[in-house]
Amino acid sequence: MAERESSGDVVLETRGLTKRFGGLVAVNDLSIDVHKGRICALIGPNGSGKTTVLNLITGIYRNDGGSVSFLGQPLHMLPSHSICWLGIARTFQNIRILGSETVFENALLGKGYGHGGASILDTVLDSSRYRRDMATCAAEVNEILDFVGLLDLKEERARNLPYGKQRILEIARALVTNPKLLLLDEPAAGLNSQEINALMELIRRINQRGISILLIEHRMELVGNLADWVFVLNHGSKIAEGAFDVIKENPDVIQAYLGKGRH
Amino acid sequence: MAKLIALLRRHALLIIALLLLMAPHVTSQYEFYVVERGVQNAIHVLGLLILIGYSGMLSLGSAALLATGAYTYGILLVKLGLSPLLGAVLAVAFTTAVGTGLALPAFRLAGPFLVVTTVGFGEIVRILLLNLEPVTGGAYGLAGFANLLPDPNAVYYLMVVVLFLVAVATERIGRSRLGLALKALREDEVAAQVMGVDVRRAKMVAFALSAMLAGLSGVFLANLTGYLSPDSFTSAESATYLLMVVMGGMQSVVGAVISSLVITSLPEVLRFLSSSRLLVYSLVLLVYLRLNWVRTRSLSTWSGARMLGVLTGAGKGKGRS
């Protein structure tokens, strides 16, 4: 733990990040650092701009001001797939898996397209290069499915999985991209307490693989349990950051969540 | 029995190809022409399967790409005196280039908006063919070009072999990482992007492959008819090709091939009904779609079946089902 604190490596850095939707400032002058090997959490009341931050980092939205850099490289104007190839993977608040494809195919999608792999000609000719590529991919996908505990369901259609397993599948797909930073958007939403415990265990194991994590979460027990560092957002601005135990005593944070006292 | 069916399914393409190879010996001259057109259509429809079935990008400009292939072949031979083989290669290459250009609007447009763009493209090509009379022959049409192979039966055999190879290739693409990327485009473009799918590149590949097959089919069409007229390449034709993909199940290569052959021959089979022929033809298609023998849910936002309903006016007043 002490070693983690001392390592100054910043994986993800935002400086003055700003996004407006018309008159609404969804993210306002946000500066955060995600350090290597850490589990960071982004919390805040509904509508405080948490998901917008993830959309800005992954290139789904273009920022109106400020900058994002990943391992020292600015991400400005890079398309989403390039950002993925650099090593940022994410999951979505509302699960976005391919329902009619199998679990295996969903995970395989994490290998992307247009970034290595066999050419169309190799594919069409079923050449040894194509087979080798598919075998390598399959091995990696199987390893990840085994890691998250979905290997025995790999031939199942994704839409037939129970909700909790679909969430795990989305995480598995993100892991197949071989990320250095994993962004999780409310991974515990809709899960029961047993599934949440398994999820926390999984997130820890992912972190132990050397993957830094930035997660958005509403469940405070999960944040308190997992997060080394917490950023608190309200109305698009960062109002506090620090260790969870410190943050939860912060009057601004309490006010943002619970409202102002009447006396 | 189950084993037999599994065996038949696994080798369905091979069986179809072998049956088609026997066609010249067991059909009359007219029936044979219908089969030829069926095979030629199937090559085109496999391209549409990649574009519409796999990638979910609906195109109603496919007849125009077919025309591009056919006319380029004809013009290169008649006006420039190229050899049939060189003409065919250039025609396919040119059609592929044009079709890849069609991917550019698809970068920004989706669903009905993309459909309208492709309809526009189809009309532009048809009007060009009509009015560039010195080059295309205009409404008089274009004739007088040689065939790829001197023996007409040899052209047919070549076509069947090409269809078989294209079908195998299409099936392989469907199972590959490219195929998966295309299916991801169809189901959730944002998720695909974030998972490292280069969406623009994937779209371009889908358009290019589909145009290549349209060009190839167009060259064969020119060979079969020996005469080209803008009337054969209207947007109604494009709708028929779309129908062939939808009836084939939107995902299945074997389905697309069978449905191309069946839909090509259906109007001829029903010819004995004379004036009520088109009515029965439409009824057969509607019943088939209504019975849900085909999985038409694949186009998540803009289903092929609903699109056909719009085109034929059959789906009027029906809500989302």
- C-alpha torsion A192→A197→A200→A205, nearest 10: -130
**Closest CB to A98 among B177, B188, B193:** B188
Residues B172, A126: C-beta atoms closer than 8 Å: yes
Each residue's pLDDT expressed in tens, for chain A with a length of 263 residues: 434 444 468 999 999 999 999 889 999 999 999 999 999 999 999 889 999 999 999 999 999 999 999 999 999 889 999 999 999 999 999 999 998 899 999 999 999 998 888 899 999 999 999 999 999 999 999 999 999 999 999 999 999 999 999 999 999 999 999 999 999 999 999 999 999 999 999 999 999 999 999 999 988 889 999 999 999 999 999 999 999 999 988 888 888 887 766 55
Residues B192, A101: C-beta atoms closer than 8 Å: no
First CA to last CA across chain A, in angstroms? 42
A78/A130 same-domain check: no
Instruction: Give the total number of structural domains in chain B.
Output: 1
Q: Is residue A202 part of a domain?
A: no
Find where tokens 């009904």 sit. B273
Return the CATH number at A159: 3.40.50.300
Residues A81, B193: C-beta atoms closer than 8 Å: yes
Q: Is residue A198 part of a domain?
A: no
Q: Is residue B195 part of a domain?
A: yes
Choice among B153-157, B175-179, B247-251 with the minimum mean pLDDT: B247-251
Whether residue B186 contacts residue B300, with contact meaning beta carbons closer than 8 Å, is answered with: yes
B131 closest CA partner among B140, B122, B121, B118? B140
Q: Is residue B81 part of a domain?
A: yes
Any A CB within 8 A of B171 CB: no
Question: Given A178, A198, A229, which residue is the final one in a domain?
Answer: A178
Residues A108, B180: C-beta atoms closer than 8 Å: yes
CA angle A41, A44, A49 (to 5 degrees): 95
Q: Is residue A246 part of a domain?
A: yes
A169/A236 same-domain check: no
First CA to last CA across chain B, in angstroms? 37
pLDDT digits (tens, 9 = 90+) for B249-295: 888 999 999 999 999 998 888 878 878 877 877 787 777 766 655 44
Q: Which residue of A has its CA nearest to B297?
A: A100
- Secondary structure of residue B298 in the 3-state scheme: coil
> B83-116 b/e with 16+ CB inside 10 Å = b?
ebeebbbbbbebbbebbbebbeebeeebeeebbe
A55, A81, A103: which to substitute to probe chain B, counting the most B Cβ within 10 Å? A81
Question: Is the model's pLDDT at B55 over the cut of 70?
Answer: yes
Return the CATH number at B202: 1.10.3470
Contact residues of A toward B, CB < 8 A: 58-60, 79-81, 84-85, 89-90, 92, 96-101, 105, 108-115, 117-118, 120, 123-124, 126, 130, 133-134, 137, 173-174, 177
Q: Which residue of B has its CA nearest to A58?
A: B194
Q: How many helices (H) and strands (E) does chain A have?
A: 11, 10
Instruction: Give the total number of structural domains in chain A.
Output: 2
Question: Domain range for residue B170?
Answer: 2-312
A72/A132 same-domain check: no
Q: Is residue A193 part of a domain?
A: no
Question: Domain range for residue A124?
Answer: 93-178
Any A CB within 8 A of B189 CB: no
**Closest CB to A109 among B172, B176, B180:** B180
A176 closest CA partner among A188, A185, A168, A187? A168
Q: Is residue B273 part of a domain?
A: yes
Whether residue B64 contacts residue B120, with contact meaning beta carbons closer than 8 Å, is answered with: no
Q: Is residue A183 part of a domain?
A: no
A163/A113 same-domain check: yes
A134/A160 same-domain check: yes
